[in-house]
Each structure stands twice: as structure tokens, then as C-alpha cells.
Amino acid sequence: MTGTPPVFPWRRRVEPVFHGNEKTMIPPDQDFAARVRGSFGRQQAMALLGAQMTEVQPGMTEIVLPFREALTQQHGFVHAGIITAIADSACGYAALSLMPPDVGVLTIEFKVNLLNPAAGERFVARGRVVKPGRTIMVCTGEVVAERADGARQTVALIQATMMVVRDRPAVAD
């Protein structure tokens, strides 16, 4: 079951297709992957949580967080803020992967829906750029819980707005 997780069949029929300019999805910084991983490595909050970056593509990143009791809320699920932390980082670094050198990334805002209680062995956050811009980048992402038996369940959905920060040395990436 692990290799072919259950998927809503209707999703395949009605999957959203984003229409736009493909050229904007080419990273202007050839070293985008090393740059993203380097910046992620400076996020001490990710180390505190125990999260690791597992994938970097142009306009997309993936972060994995193993379950620990120290991350839970009162019912034993991982706290919504912790789930949001990995979703936000995944989106922010998806955006950074498409930014030119000498700028930094800051989160302007995000909205998160918690679809299911965050129960599982590990949590996989993916963020994607859906609209790259010179100043603003819009991202979507989700966090999927993986159970011990290989079952997967989407636990959170994020829609986020990132800013390309120029000329502020304290906010360089």
C-alpha cells in the first residue's frame, strides 16, 4: 500500500491547472538548491522541531518532520502551529528557489486549513510557487501524515504570500 497510496479518483478528472508564463519558473540563481538548503540550515526553529529538508526543486521544496510527543497539543496530535511552521518553511523556500541572488525571502501572510488531526509517524510538508513575481510570490502547499502502516492522510492545506526583500542586508538569504 505504501507505494500506491489511496487517492481521490475525481481529483484526476478535475485537477486544477495553473496557467501562466513558464519562463518565470526557471531559477535565476543557478545555485538555488545550495542556497535554499543553506538558509534552511540557519533556521534554528527547524532544528528545535527536528525537521529536515528532503527535496529542493525549482519552485518546490519538501520538509519532513518525525513525530515526537514534545510537539503535541492537548489531545496528543502535533500542534497546528508546528504543522504550520513546516508548511510555511516549505513555501518560503519554494519561493526563494526562484529568486535572484542578493535578495531575501519573508513571509507576508498565510492561511492554513487543518483537515484532519495531525496523527502519524512523520509529517511531510510540500510547498509550491503558483505565481512567481518580481516582488510577490504566491505559494500553496500541504502537509501529509504518514502512519506506521503506510497509510497517508492530508492534515493541512496552506495558501501563502511571500515577499522578495531587496536592499535589506539583515534579510538576505
How many other CB atoms are there within 10 angstroms of residue 8's CB atom? 8
Q: How far is the CB of 42 from a second copy (least distance, A)?
A: 4
Q: How far is the CB of 149 from a second copy (least distance, A)?
A: 13
- Which residue's CB is nearer to a second copy, number 95 or number 128? 128
Task: Provide the minimum distance between the beta carbon of 29 and a second copy in the complex, in angstroms, as a whole number.
Answer: 16
Give the number of other Cβ atoms within 10 Å of residue 55's Cβ.
13
Q: Are strands 52-57 and 152-165 parallel, antiparallel or unpaired?
A: unpaired
Residue 142 to residue 119: CA distance in whole angstroms: 15
Please name which of 105, 123, 104 lies closest in space to residue 49, comparing C-alpha atoms: 123
Residue type, position 57, single letter = Q
Residue 133 has, within 13 A of its CA and on its CB side, a CA count of 11
Look up residue 100 and give its DSSP letter: P
Least Å from the CB of residue 117 to a second copy: 7
Q: Residue 118 CB, nearest distance to a second copy (Å)?
A: 11
Q: Hey, what amino acid is at 24?
A: T
H or E stretch covering 53: strand 52-57
